[in-house]
Chain A
């Protein structure tokens, strides 16, 4: 937080995110409660039903998230801390979005080609390295991973058309 921006206008406040996350956690707790009740959370002659233990877990999730929510609500006006500033969040997206695209790529064309593309393009576009170095590192990492997993350890990873071409 080196820059002295005015407290709002340039980012999301922590309290607001705190409230939102508490709501999300409450929803998850409610989901656990719902399913526990559906399965039965009481006793039968054979002992506790499957929902017996998760019921209390769900209950505790709901109670604790309510307490966090209430605590954040009390500080809604006073607490001016920033969760993330816009330029910081942009940097987070710079890795988060390509990573998501990369996972999609792993699903579609296999892990080795996607990894080479992901590392190479990231170095080229974000790190501003030359094409040759970017391609070198990207392909290098993929080849090492291929040798390690497919050839030596015999652990199959997701593969696509290119690997099929060389018989894997």
Chain B
């Protein structure tokens, strides 16, 4: 039980008063971020990242990952009380959570949501503890071709599992790669795509893109919708918590299914949002009370919350072990690691065991802290939501501007968040996905260098991506996923004439 020893060592790293304080601060900030419109996990972490530059990396990642857990918890509060999902992954929670709140069972719904979030995260952390070292050990054998095929698989998964127009997914992704290429070419030292502008020398920083696309973009969208919050009041007392906990074991099967869906969708770059929808759908099909879903069933809150939190947690697994984030927030955390001088990937387990196991231990502790914080402080967080948008909106713009400036102390970045905000607004409305764009911007340089190294190894022949069974099967799988939308489109077309005949 090598892992258990390492884990106990991790607890000694994480359990210092300083780290515990950061953990609680992180959770509280995270819940606030999760509750507020226009601030989400990804850009919340992006804005706060510069504040952590002066901390030791382990403390910094503990605080930032706790912000992430907090944001995952916080999304549920707005869904249940206000029928407004604070985060995309809590949309499915509104289906049964809000009806419960209307029936005066808000406390029960929130307790159910928080507890199942906790269970989902805990299972995912357990999976993480025992699978991650194996994946890392396995990935130590990877060379450039294998890494490039993993990158390829990551990006093709977006095309294969994405809902919208596949060309829009590819266009968004490639724009991300294009932005990543701006600046000095790391291999030859030549300037690329700068067009003589010295401000572009260091390229586009992904944090600035994240703050603009998600932060300002979300504010513009919220203003357009003319949001006004009015919702049920929240009261949680120990009696409701205990009563709800007594009911929850009944849904162990739903919970287990949701954990599996969540862990799986988190590891492949599907992310928490599809996981929560899928889990809700499966629970409705498999449950005895399936036909009552949508009218305020506790089970309908348990399913999406468990899966979303499990997915959000396990999205860190490929980030730490392979250097490939499973979600935009994980991508921001990955960028943070690079800024602290840590190279995410299989070597991290060998070179920085303190860091990795400290992080894993903090995932256990952070989620326990999170459960305590949200259960005790719900009324406070709900009160934040009642602050009118005319105050929230300019304050968030100010926070975004500060966050963007602190990335590189560059005034141009503050202008860029406005530009990225408009792009984010237009892209959201036209169904261009933002997640693959951000991931491409973060991974662009790494993907390019693994591609170039592979090409050097093979003297320019693409056959190197099929040179051994490992790279070959990954590349083949990637290509199948890339053309998957074509397959489904053809199938629909074959089915269509019959449906037309029936309609006529």
Interface residues of A (CB under 8 A from B): 14, 17-18, 21-22, 25, 28-29, 31-32, 35-36, 39, 43, 47-54, 57-58, 60-61, 64-65, 67-68, 71, 83-84, 88-89, 91-92, 94-96, 98-100, 102-103, 106-107, 111, 115, 118-119, 122-123, 126-129, 137, 141, 145, 149, 153, 155-158
Q: A103-B418, A127-B391 are in contact. List 7 more A-B contacts (CB 8 A).
A: A50-B190, A64-B170, A92-B220, A102-B394, A107-B414, A119-B394, A156-B409
| Closest A residue to B226 using CB positions | A91
Given the complex of chains A and B, what is the CA–CA distance between A88 and B395 in angstroms? 21
Contact residue among A29, A88, A106 (Cβ-Cβ distance under 8 Å from B224): A88
| Closest A residue to B404 using CB positions | A103
Contact residue among B165, B175, B226, B397 (Cβ-Cβ distance under 8 Å from A99): B397
Q: How far is the CB of B5 from chain A (nearest CB, A)?
A: 37
Given the complex of chains A and B, what is the CA–CA distance between A107 and B411 in angstroms? 7
Contact B390 A123 (CB under 8 A): yes
With A48-B452, A103-B401 as known contacts, state yes or no: A89 contacts B224, CB within 8 Å.
Answer: yes
Contact A65 B171 (CB under 8 A): yes
Contact B388 A127 (CB under 8 A): yes
Given the complex of chains A and B, what is the CA–CA distance between A47 and B449 in angstroms? 12
Q: Cβ of B244: which chain A residues have Cβ within 8 Å of it? A: none
Say which size band chain B's interface belongs to: 35 or more
Contact B455 A48 (CB under 8 A): yes
Contact A60 B224 (CB under 8 A): no
Given the complex of chains A and B, what is the CA–CA distance between A92 and B323 in angstroms? 38
Q: Cβ of A102: which chain B residues have Cβ within 8 Å of it? A: 394, 397-398, 401
With A53-B452, A60-B170, A92-B224 as known contacts, state yes or no: A123 contacts B391, CB within 8 Å.
Answer: yes
B contact patch SS: helix
Q: Which of B39-80 contact A (CB under 8 A)?
A: 50-51, 54
Contact B178 A155 (CB under 8 A): no
Interface residues of B (CB under 8 A from A): 50-51, 54, 165, 167-168, 170-171, 174-175, 177-178, 181, 185, 187-188, 190, 192-193, 195, 216, 219-220, 223-226, 388, 390-391, 393-395, 397-398, 401-402, 405-406, 409, 411, 414-415, 418, 421-422, 425-427, 429-430, 432, 448, 451-452, 455-456, 460
Contact B418 A99 (CB under 8 A): yes
Contact A50 B175 (CB under 8 A): no
Contact B455 A35 (CB under 8 A): no
With A94-B223, A106-B401, A145-B402 as known contacts, state yes or no: A57 contacts B171, CB within 8 Å.
Answer: no
A-B pairs under 8 A by CB, number = 170
Contact residue among B174, B401, B415, B451 (Cβ-Cβ distance under 8 Å from A61): B174
Given the complex of chains A and B, what is the CA–CA distance between A147 and B463 in angstroms? 58
Given the complex of chains A and B, what is the CA–CA distance between A99 and B163 in angstroms? 33
Q: Cβ of B51: which chain A residues have Cβ within 8 Å of it? A: 153, 155
Contact B426 A67 (CB under 8 A): no
Given the complex of chains A and B, what is the CA–CA distance between A36 and B226 in angstroms? 44
Q: How far is the CB of B414 from chain A (nearest CB, A)?
A: 5
Q: How far is the CB of B197 from chain A (nearest CB, A)?
A: 12
| Closest A residue to B171 using CB positions | A64
Contact B411 A61 (CB under 8 A): no
Contact residue among B193, B223, B401, B402 (Cβ-Cβ distance under 8 Å from A32): B193
Contact A17 B430 (CB under 8 A): yes
Contact B168 A51 (CB under 8 A): no
Contact A141 B398 (CB under 8 A): yes
Q: Cβ of A47: which chain B residues have Cβ within 8 Å of it? A: 452, 455-456
Q: Cβ of A58: which chain B residues have Cβ within 8 Å of it? A: 178
Given the complex of chains A and B, what is the CA–CA distance between A35 and B224 in angstroms? 38
Q: How far is the CB of B8 from chain A (nearest CB, A)?
A: 33
With A95-B223, A123-B391, A137-B391 as known contacts, state yes or no: A67 contacts B167, CB within 8 Å.
Answer: yes
Q: Cβ of B421: which chain A residues have Cβ within 8 Å of it? A: 96, 99
Given the complex of chains A and B, what is the CA–CA distance between A99 and B425 in angstroms? 15
Contact residue among A17, A54, A95, A145 (Cβ-Cβ distance under 8 Å from B398): A145
Q: List 24 A-B contacts (CB under 8 A).
A: A14-B429, A21-B426, A21-B432, A28-B178, A35-B193, A39-B190, A48-B456, A54-B178, A54-B192, A57-B174, A61-B178, A64-B170, A68-B165, A83-B430, A92-B220, A92-B425, A94-B223, A99-B216, A100-B418, A122-B394, A123-B390, A127-B390, A137-B395, A157-B405
Q: Cβ of B405: which chain A residues have Cβ within 8 Å of it? A: 106, 111, 157-158
Given the complex of chains A and B, what is the CA–CA distance between A133 and B433 in angstroms? 40
Q: Cβ of B430: which chain A residues have Cβ within 8 Å of it? A: 14, 17-18, 21, 83
Q: Cβ of A99: which chain B residues have Cβ within 8 Å of it? A: 216, 394, 397, 418, 421
Q: How far is the CB of B394 from chain A (nearest CB, A)?
A: 4
Given the complex of chains A and B, what is the CA–CA distance between A67 and B159 in angstroms? 15
Q: Cβ of A53: which chain B residues have Cβ within 8 Å of it? A: 181, 448, 451-452
Residue from B178, B185, B395 whose CB has the most chain A CB atoms within 10 Å:
B178
Ranked 3 nearest A-B pairs via Cβ:
A127-B390, A67-B167, A64-B171
Q: Cβ of A91: which chain B residues have Cβ within 8 Å of it? A: 223-224, 226
Q: Cβ of A60: which chain B residues have Cβ within 8 Å of it? A: 170, 174
Given the complex of chains A and B, what is the CA–CA distance between A28 and B460 in angstroms? 27
Q: Cβ of B401: which chain A residues have Cβ within 8 Å of it? A: 102-103, 106, 111, 115
Contact A141 B395 (CB under 8 A): yes
Q: Cβ of B390: which chain A residues have Cβ within 8 Å of it? A: 122-123, 126-129
Contact A52 B226 (CB under 8 A): no
